[in-house]
Structure formats: structure tokens, C-alpha cells
Structure 1
């Protein structure tokens, strides 16, 4: 039995596709995601800490007093409103002794008696790794709040990548800040704990409503024109024959009814401005329709004459 040529080609193609699929299935391996890398931390230290007090206008600040690592200056510094305090230090890694930049570095002055605290942020000069703080005593009058005396100066360093934080008392300084200018406190900010005088308030009593007889009489007087109109209609009669058979004769009474309905809604819920807005639209429509109705009545009279 001979197999046709086309059938042979189809069988050969099916074998090739099956073999390729099997090979791909055997060679393909599941992908594995690498574990997240843990952030590397390092230990930091304060190096080359130097401090001194100078005149406020003095620019030569080379003779800074060095303080040992994590040590404290033995002498007490003295500064007043004509002096300035300068502190310089480096932050380095403990392992490689390389300078690093940290997120937080500042000097904190804490008054030894009252606990009043003043913070000064340490900054770096562009292109340098050294941190420095320059405190002009006269410039920070409000920060010292007029509190003079002995302050303990702490060096504070911290960073999210650092495995340790640094805070130690580096030196003591006796500061005499300038006195604060007198600022009268606002009465709204004053807190008075004394007992205030008691005051009583008498609300106005509501006015007495009139007698029901007066209220009913007023209501009847308001409705009298409508009652008179109905009485005259009954006595004289209404001539519907003279009414022209036009759409204007129907729209004009409807517009008047809409105006009366608007007044009723205004009495219960609307305010004056909304009522005037709607009344302008309905009134304009009633004026136009009434004008057209009178024109038709005049035309009918001319035709009869």
C-alpha cells in the first residue's frame, strides 16, 4: 500500500513539532528570584572635634581647641552677646576610617538648671567632609529666651545606615545672652486663672400673639378681593362667549395661575431672590400672552363694527 506524498509530509511535520515541544519542556527550568539584598550598615564615630569662642567680628578662627574622641573639654567656655561659638568635627566609619555624610548632625545646648534646650544644625561646606557650627550669641536671642548660665553642649549624630547613634557631652559653656525686648502679650493669649465675676443674661421674652379675632379679621380682609370677585361673577355673570377661541385665551389664565402658585411656594419655601428670578420669567410670559389676547379681542371688535 503506497502512502501519498502529502500524507508523508504531514506526518514528518507532526514528528518535528512534537520533538521540539518535548525538548523545550525538558530544557526549560523554573525561574528563581534572588533574595532581596539587605541594606549594609556601618558604625560611625566623631573625629577631630574642635571648639572655641571668638569675638563676633573675628574671622581668623584657626586656634580651635581639640577634644579627644568621645571625651569632654576640661575648661568651661564663656560667651556673651558679643561672642560667637564655633564647633568643627568629622564623621567617619570605624572600620575603614573613611569620612561619611550622615542625615543628622547637630549641637544641642541644654541649660543645666532649667533644662532649656537650643539646637544648632551642623552643616558641610560644599566639597568638604567637615561639619561645622557657628553660633552668634546675639543672633539667637529668641532661641536662648533670655536664659543665661551654664549650658551642657552635646554632639548628636545619627543616620539610617549607621548601626549606632552618637550623643555625648563634649564641653560646657557659660552663656550670657542679651535680654529679650519687652513684648506686651496679647489679651487673647493671656491665661487668667482668677475667678471671674458671674454674669447673667436674660433673653428677650417673645411678644404676645394677638387675639384670634384679630388674626381671623386680617385673614378675611386679605381674602376680601377674591370673595368680592366671585360675588360679582355670580351677580353679573361671566361672558364666556366673548372669549376668543385662541391659544392665548388659554395661556393667559394659566400664567396668572402660575404667578399665584409661585407666591404660595414663596410663602412656604422660597426666598426673595429665587422668587424674583422665577417671577421675572413667568411675568414676562404673562405680559406677552396678555398682549396677544388683547390684540385678538380688539381685532374681533373691529370685525363686528
Structure 2
């Protein structure tokens, strides 16, 4: 039902209009359907066309008033109307052809009502042919505003081709030999995507057909390079690739028993030193008896013992820099108390 607004009184004559199909890619001529009467609905204030002629197909139409003697704006009034519908998509197939003879190397049927998952392979000496048919609900030839075939390489480089038509059949052939430069000599996997759309086509679609593996020749030295792909600025915040690091295998070490034997051998000189002292006899007769002198002598021996303990700690856990830091303080301490101890010994010997 078509409504045309009119601001009139409670009674108005029927409005007679012409329905003209607008010139478009869907038709070569613009047929005119004469004398369509629109009845006036007083309660709504508009004219109504209850039913459309049977020969009206999908497309863009214009309504023209043909009663200029009754209405002031008569024949100069026109309204654009789009009649939509579902377009039949039939006999879709995709093939790989030999370039020289045109023989079919491989052929696959397509169901363009849903995404497909076909797999094809070709080289630069072959062709790719895509064909399908479109018809309106009345069986007439339908030519959509756009029919595009897109090839997307695995590096995201895209190529878009317009699919032409001959009558009801849309057929498009890609000659890879003539397209190697446009494809930037990129071999590998290409996704195939078909887009068919129109303002009056209720079932316009964007379909993934599958992929084709192309084997193209090596690019010559002066060949055009593929364009750089844009980088998503938010990609740096996404998860990064996992870093798999293998540490060097630890070096083989001697057995624990052998290490303990070596430790015992390093203590032999110290044990020999104490045994030598016992053999020679320690002379404590000249140890200072005065309180101050005895205190400095005791501190001197304690400092020497501290240095020996520092050597042991360096062997077990300390590093070189920490050991040298502690040794510097002990050195100053030993220098002071040693000087006082030797001074007291010299004074006793002089008396």
C-alpha cells in the first residue's frame, strides 16, 4: 500500500498518477505504467494506492501526478519510491583455468547464501574464473550497484576487482600472468571475499568464499614493493610473544667427598702452625703486665684473629669488595693498637 499526503477538505477526487521506473543500471529503458488511481482517505488526509500492478519489479520508481487541471502543482509533483525484494542468486561457481588452452583445472560449486570454505591452488600461468547469476523476483535481469571480488594476502595486502555482467550472468576472470606486478609478486595464501549489494536488494551480502594458494615468480630487482600496512597504536598494549629462554647447562662439578678432602688439605697448614707453636713453646714472659699495655697487646691479638676470621668469611660467603671494606677498618685498628704495643715493648726493653 502506497500513501501520498494531501492537505485537502473532507471530499476530494481520486488522484491519478503515472509510475515511471527511474533510469538505472537495472534496466536499459524506463517503462511507464499509466493511469493508476489513488483513492482519497478523508480520515487521514492522504491518497492511497491499495495494490501495485503485477508487472512492477524491484527498483527505483517515480510517481507523477497527471491531473494538472485539478491540483495547482499537478504534473510537476513527483515522488521517489524504492521497491525492494529478495534477489535470486543461482549457479555460482569458481574455477581455475589453464592460461593457454582455457581448460578447467579445478571447479567448485558455491552456495552464496552462506560463507564457504573452498581451497584452490594456482600458479602465475593460470586463471581464476568466478561466475553467478542474479535475477529479480519476477525473473528479470538484475544488476546491483556493486559486485566486488576482494583478494586479501596473508600479509593483509588487499586487491579489489569489479565483477562485470553479461545478461543475468556475472562472470569475472583473473589472469594471474598479467597481474603479477599488481599482486607485488607475493606468493602464498589469498582469502577470497565477494560483495554484492544494492539499495533495493534485501539480501545484499558479503561472503567469504575460501582461499587460493598462489605460486608467483620471484620479484625482479626493480619490482614495485607492497605498501606498508598501518599499525594499530593499541597493539603495543596487547600481550607479547612468550620468550622461551634455555639456560646454559650447569658445568659438571667434582663429587662432594672430593671437595671435603680438598677443604681438609687447606686446613693442614693452620694445624701445622699450631703444632709448631706447641713444639717451640709459647713465651708469655714478655707479655705486658701493666694494665694499659696489656690491654693494647690483647687488642692487637684480637685484631689479628679478626683478620683471620675475615679471610674465612671471604672464603665462605663474602665478596671481594665487602671483604676489602671490612679489612680497611681492621687495618686502621691494627695500625693503632700495634703501634702502641710495640712502643710499650720498646720502652720496657730500654728500661
Question: Higher helix fraction: Structure 1 or Structure 2?
Answer: 1
Normalising to structure 2: TM-score of the pair?
Answer: 0.39
Higher relative contact order (CA 8 A, sep 6+): 1
Question: Higher strand fraction: Structure 1 or Structure 2?
Answer: 2
